[in-house]
């Protein structure tokens, strides 16, 4: 079996693209809540590599531990962990925020990433090798109006990533944060709760990033020689200069 990569949030968007990009060189554990999508992706990936499917919600610590403990012995030595699962839910000023949306973002974006890392990293420490790549966001570098709690969750991801890098440094484990700007995926449809007009407006007048762009970056990071860590990467579409500055063609 090839080196094993573990990808959360693999049923769509960036996670799906990462699983496909890594399949050429890795055996892949794909994780997500939507079983039908997992099965479809697994069938596609099996044309090129070994695949194992795990269906669980990263925000449920017991489910995370049960799923990872269920891996057969030959799948337990995970060399690459991609913490990709997460979402944005709604936009609102702080005094109008929806508490259920706040919980969903903190639970998946930050706590879920920590739960999965806690379950997988001890074996990396034992082996003194491994890569942990956390998919953050420009929202973890710059706050913008009505993004308060989403930004807080992604700032947390950035802080956790830097802390992980320090804690795991003695064990030769590379820890990387990748922080995309505007990427056209299902992200905006989820954030705006299925409102197609609002979702489309996010990308109107620009050529955004695509999931494949982030996946190619992940593969590039993993393929660097062992002595090289690309620790912190921000990726924008060319039309974007910051979290709030985007040049749109009329």
d(CA 236, CA 182): 7
Let me know: does 185 contact 199? Beta carbons within 8 Å: no
Q: Which of 112, 101, 103 is nearest to 191 (CA)?
A: 101
* DSSP helix/strand/coil, 56: coil
d(CA 38, CA 11): 6
The Cβ of residue 134 has, within 10 Å, a number of other Cβ atoms equal to 24
* DSSP helix/strand/coil, 115: helix
Token pair, residue 139, equals: 């929202």
d(CA 202, CA 183): 10
150 tagged catalytic: yes
Which of 150, 171, 203, 210 is the catalytic position? 150
The residues carrying an active-site annotation are: 150
């Amino acid at each position: 079996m090839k080196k094993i990569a573990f990808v959360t949030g693999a049923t769509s968007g960036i996670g799906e693209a990462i699983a496909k990009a890594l399949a050429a060189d890795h055996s892949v554990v794909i994780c997500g809540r939507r079983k039908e999508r997992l099965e479809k992706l697994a069938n596609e990936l099996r044309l090129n590599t070994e695949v194992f499917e795990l269906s669980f919600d990263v925000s449920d610590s017991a489910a995370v531990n049960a799923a990872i403990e269920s891996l057969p012995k030959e799948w337990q030595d995970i060399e690459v962990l991609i913490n990709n699962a997460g979402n944005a839910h709604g936009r609102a000023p702080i005094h109008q925020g929806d508490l259920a949306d706040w919980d969903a973002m903190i639970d998946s974006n930050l706590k879920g990433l920590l739960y999965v890392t806690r379950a997988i990293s001890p074996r990396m420490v034992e082996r003194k090798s491994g890569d942990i790549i956390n998919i953050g966001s420009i929202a973890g570098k710059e706050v913008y109006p009505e993004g308060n709690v989403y930004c807080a969750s992604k700032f947390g991801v950035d802080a956790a990533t830097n802390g992980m890098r320090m804690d795991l440094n003695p064990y030769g484990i590379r820890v990387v944060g990748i922080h995309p700007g505007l990427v056209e995926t299902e992200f905006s449809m989820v954030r705006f709760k299925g409102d197609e007009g609002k979702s489309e407006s996010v990308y109107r007048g620009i050529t955004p990033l695509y999931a494949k762009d982030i996946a190619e970056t992940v593969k590039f990071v993993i393929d660097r020689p062992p002595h090289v860590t690309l620790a912190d990467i921000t990726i924008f579409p060319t039309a974007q200069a910051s979290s709030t500055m985007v040049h749109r063609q009329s």
